[in-house]
Amino acid sequence: MKKINIITVILVSSLFGLVSCVDLDITPKSVLTGEDIYTENGIKAYVAGLYNHLPMEDFHYDTDNEGLQAGYFVNLNVYSYWNSTGEMVNRNNVGRKRHRPGYWSEGFKIIRQANTLINDLPNYPALADNSRAWIAEAKFIRAYVYFQLAKRYGGLPKIFEPQVLDSNDESSLWVARVSHADTYDFILADLDEAIADMSLTSETGRANKYVAAAFKSRVALHAATTARYGSMKFPDWEVDGVLLEGIPSEKANGYFKQAWDAAKLVEGHYQLHKDNSDKTANYAEVWEKAEGNKESIWIRKYDYTMWAHSFDAMMAPPRMTTTYGDRYNPTLDWVELFDGLPINPATGHFSAFDDNGDYIVYDNCHQLWDGAEPRLRANLLLPGEMVKGGYKVDLRAGIFSQDIDPAVRKFKKFSRDDGADGGNYRSVTLEGQTNLFATNVILNSTADPRTQTDLYEVNGVRIYKNGLDGPKMSNNGGNNTLTGFFGRKHMNIAMTQPQTALFESTQSWIEIRYAEVLLNRAEAAIELAQSGESTYVGTNLLQDAFTIINDLRDRAGATLLTDPTELSTAPGHTNWTKPGTHGIGSFVEAPTRGLQIVRVERYKELAFESKIYWDLIRWFTYDTQINQYRKRGLYSFMFSKGATVDAAGIPDGKYIYDAKNTESGSDRITYPVNDYYEGIPSNELKNNPLLQKNRNQ
């Protein structure tokens, strides 16, 4: 099965040199009906241009920048809503970031172009052999854009014909919004028609039947969960008898079935990547070999002849890039979701202590991670790993003075990890203890970790007090990881430091991969089973979800479920700061334990892919899960006694690990309940009096 590479093609200027007219930026139809367009090559270029302008939240999406299209197609992606979901944080983005508001007119430009193609192609008999497939493809594109709008605004104007301005009556362009449910219904109908008429395979840059089916599983799942959970959050928003925000709950199961059916249709045409027996390396190949594996369903391709991006320069550790860097710091809250780490089952939190309550001492910088879930290992740049042309990752928050023997002296926890305290190591002293930092039992540098000069000498060996790659603590300078972690997903770790510069990265963006489709199917199956429909089209739904989750976990090297009954209706674990049953996976809220298991799996599998943000919105848990939330990190301390130093000056020795809130970027963040829907842009309301406002406008 060919992968779908979204290519950049320079089109004739008429394709997107659009003329603004009232609220929908109408282009005169005569611009698009020339014989240079309605030829086979012209249509291919035209469709490629539509793909090129699709609003994907990829390497060029920045939530703090208007860009060309409300945050889309920005040169440098610094601000991301990955930082607002508990996935990660960076020094430029320590607060809450919403998606960039205002995406409307640019979306309707693309919809108009798709409508023009759908409307006009039947008028060109010479193109009849391919026109049906092209029309189906245009419907897929129209559905993609409408979905991006629907998940922001709810109900939308249904415009399926190219509008023509009547100079004597501008009201001819005014279109009211249809209901939220009707909007999803016409999007799904477009996708059904696309699936029916698209080819089974496609050339580079084109969608096909199974791409459309995969995308339909995403759309239908969003509609289904909106129907099930939206009205539980607040009353649906109805104007003039039209339900604009909210979908009747009785429609939920119908949408869940559509999601399951669409995902099932993809089965056998794509598959999880499992070509490498090394599970860590195999998982990394999902993005490192995105264009060559069988998991990628739809990708946006980057290369020097088309687009390049700056992900490596922006996200790599500062020591390993020529500019910027350090903006990719996964949180401990996310890391704790994975298997193979010392996690307290009563809280779901990291807890590396022995039976006496003393810190466990690890023999070297990588021992803690040796038994961690391979999927996690592939997602992080781990201490001691060689990356970026020979740089060894060096992470350490401080060292114990040389008179401290780890075999003799033991330590109880010396920081608070209660989700509430924002203090730093030097300012917080627990009851009955002395401050190990103020008394120089633990030493750390006040300098930028990359330029430390106050090295600590032990038996003639000079040791960096802090890791050269951080973490950034409150008392040291420079910029580095805030959490003690650097992310790896999407990164080209083979790119050398001199090569790691702005606009030099060409990794492809994976918009849809088969793992997401499987998770869509598993979630729909659990939702249906827990609402009383245990079987569907002859399939035991809990067994189906159980098999899917274990398939994903097996590929990831995670612990397998033992029985479908684990996907139960028992209440989900709650965050340790809230009443209820606490435990593994409690950071991710869910009404039942079965749904929590699949939601945690999504957090682990789809992190840093612009999916989790929209999951929290469609689950309607964003405002309660991310409520007065402080990001947490994991901080390592090395015993200088017995430590060794390699030829590059990087030390290694025995380590302990401490979990706490970050010291920089530790402000609380909360997702406002009124942000689940975006207000209709004010200029659109002004230009189209029939557009109804959303709640709280």
**What CA–CA distance (Å, rounded) separates 205 from 129?**
20
Give the model's pLDDT for residue 18. Answer: 30
In whole angstroms, give the CA distance from residue 245 to residue 233: 12
Residue 620 within any structural domain of the chain: yes
Same domain, 612 and 648: no
Are 556 and 538 within one domain? yes
Q: Which of 147, 226, 340, 256 is nearest to 618 (CA)?
A: 226
As a whole number, mean pLDDT of residues 381-399 equals: 96
Per-residue tokens: 104: 């409307």
pLDDT in the model for residue 455? 92
pLDDT digits (tens, 9 = 90+) for 441-457: 999 988 888 888 889 99
Domain-located, residue 355: yes
Average pLDDT on 292-296 reads 93
Examine the pLDDT at 54 and tell me if it is beyond 90: yes
Rounded Cα–Cα distance for residues 456 and 478 (Å)? 20
Q: Nearest Cα to 514, choosing from 587, 605, 403, 422?
A: 605
Same domain, 480 and 527: no
- Kindly state whether residues 467 and 549 are assigned to the same domain: no
Query: How much is the mean pLDDT over the chain?
Result: 91
The closest alpha carbon to 308, from 66, 63, 60, belongs to 60
d(CA 328, CA 434): 34
Phi/psi zone of residue 118: left (φ > 0), alpha (ψ -120 to 50 degrees), beta? Answer: alpha
- pLDDT given for residue 578 in this prediction: 83
Of 387 and 14, the one with more pLDDT: 387
Q: Are residues 615 and 495 in the same domain?
A: no
Residue-wise pLDDT for 120-172, tens only, equals 999 998 888 889 999 999 999 999 999 999 999 999 999 999 988 888 888 88
Provide the pLDDT confidence category of residue 8 given band limits of 50, 70 and 90: very low
pLDDT band at 1 (very low <50, low <70, confident <90, very high): very low
Q: Are residues 581 and 464 in the same domain?
A: no
CA distance 123 to 10: 26
- Residue 478, sorted as left (phi over 0), alpha (psi -120 to 50) or beta, turns out to be left
On whether residue 469 sits in a domain, the answer given is yes
Residue 516 carries which side chain, given as an amino acid letter?
Answer: E
Per DSSP, the residues of 508-566 read: PEEEEEHHHHHHHHHHHHHHHHHTT--EETTEEHHHHHHHHHHHHHHHHTPPPPS-GGG
Least confident of 254-268, 327-341, 418-432, 460-474: 418-432
pLDDT of residue 277: 98
Six-digit token pair at 430?
């627990």
Q: Is residue 544 part of a domain?
A: yes
The pLDDT value recorded for residue 205 is: 57
Alpha carbon of residue 213 to chain centroid: 21
Alpha helices in 39-78 (DSSP H): 40-52
According to DSSP, residue 150 is labeled H
Tokens of 380: 């992080």
Cis peptide before 101 (omega within 30 of 0): no
Where does the pLDDT of residue 68 fall: very low under 50, low under 70, confident under 90, or very high at 90 and above? low
Same-domain check for residues 550 and 531: yes
Mean per-residue pLDDT for 657-679? 93
Residues 510 and 605 sit within 8 Å (Cβ to Cβ): no
Q: In what helix (H) or strand (E) does residue 463 lie, and over which residues does it extend?
A: strand 461-463
* Number of independent structural domains in the chain: 2
d(CA 376, CA 331): 12
639, pLDDT greater than 60: yes
Q: Inform me whether the pLDDT recorded for 654 exceeds 60.
A: yes
Q: Which of 580, 610, 628 is the last residue of a domain?
A: 628
Neighbours of 354 (CB within 10 A): 10
Note whether 641 and 620 are same-domain residues: no
Residue % of the chain over a pLDDT of 90: 77
Average pLDDT over residues 678-690: 95
488 and 531 housed in the same domain = no
Cα separation, 645 vs 316, in Å, equals 24
Predicted confidence band of residue 34 (pLDDT cuts 50, 70, 90): low
Residue 352 lies in a domain: yes
Helices (H), 103-208: 105-120, 128-153, 180-197
Cis peptide before 449 (omega within 30 of 0): no
| Tokens of residue 461, six digits | 């060996």
- Beta strand 343-344 with 242-245 is unpaired
> What is the predicted pLDDT for the residue at 347?
92
Secondary element (H or E) of residue 632 = strand 632-639
Reduced to 3 states, what is the DSSP secondary structure of residue 128?
helix
Q: Identify the pLDDT of residue 12.
A: 33
10 located within any domain: no
Angle at 228 between CA 227 and CA 229, to 5 degrees: 100
Lowest mean pLDDT, pick from 60-64, 441-445, 538-542: 60-64
CB of 58 closer than 8 Å to CB of 310:
no
Q: Determine, yes or no, domain membership for 575.
A: yes
pLDDT value, residue 27: 38
Indicate whether 331 belongs to any domain.
yes
Could you give the percent of the chain with pLDDT greater than 70? 94
3 state SS of 245: strand
Residue 19 has pLDDT above 80, yes or no: no
How far, in whole angstroms, is CA 511 from its chain's centroid?
11
Q: Which domain holds residue 570?
A: 517-628
pLDDT of residue 9: 34
What's the CA gap between 641 and 638, in Å, rounded? Answer: 9
Q: Which residue from 576, 605, 84 is spatially nearest to 338, judged by alpha carbons?
A: 605
Convert the pLDDT of each residue in 181-239 to its tens digit. Answer: 999 999 999 999 999 999 887 665 579 999 999 999 999 999 999 999 999 998 889 99
Q: Same structural domain for residues 611 and 594?
A: yes
Contacts of 86 (CB under 8 A, 6+ apart): 331, 333, 334, 587, 625, 626, 629, 631
Sequence-separated (6 or more) residues with CB below 8 Å from residue 34: 14
CATH number at residue 605: 1.25.40
The predicted pLDDT at position 693 comes to: 96
Strand partners of residue 658: 635
- DSSP state at residue 257: H
Measure CA 415 to chain center: 31
Do residues 333 and 39 touch, judged by C-beta distance below 8 A?
no
d(Cα 423, Cα 262) in Å, to the nearest integer? 49
Highest mean pLDDT (candidates 39-43, 73-77, 652-656): 652-656
Coil vs helix vs strand at 79: coil
The pLDDT, as a whole number, for residue 24 is: 30
Q: Are residues 400 and 474 in the same domain?
A: yes
Rounded Cα distance between 52 and 78, Å, is 22
Among 580, 606, 628, the domain-final residue is 628
Rounded to 10 degrees, the C-alpha dihedral 561/564/570/574 comes to 30
Same domain, yes or no: 491 and 542:
no
| CA atoms of 635 and 485, how far apart (whole Å) | 9
639 phi and psi angles, rounded to 5 deg:
-80, 120
Q: pLDDT (tens digit, 9 = 90+) per residue, 407-427?
A: 999 999 999 998 777 679 998
Last residue of a domain, one of 603, 628, 653: 628
Q: Is the pLDDT of residue 440 over 90?
A: yes
What pLDDT is stored for residue 17 in this prediction? 34
Q: Do the beta carbons of residue 63 and residue 47 sit within 8 Å?
A: no
Distances (CA, A) of 1 to 135, 177, 202, 203: 22, 39, 8, 10
Tokens of 302: 């980057």
**pLDDT at position 450, please?**
86
540: left (phi over 0), alpha (psi -120 to 50) or beta: beta
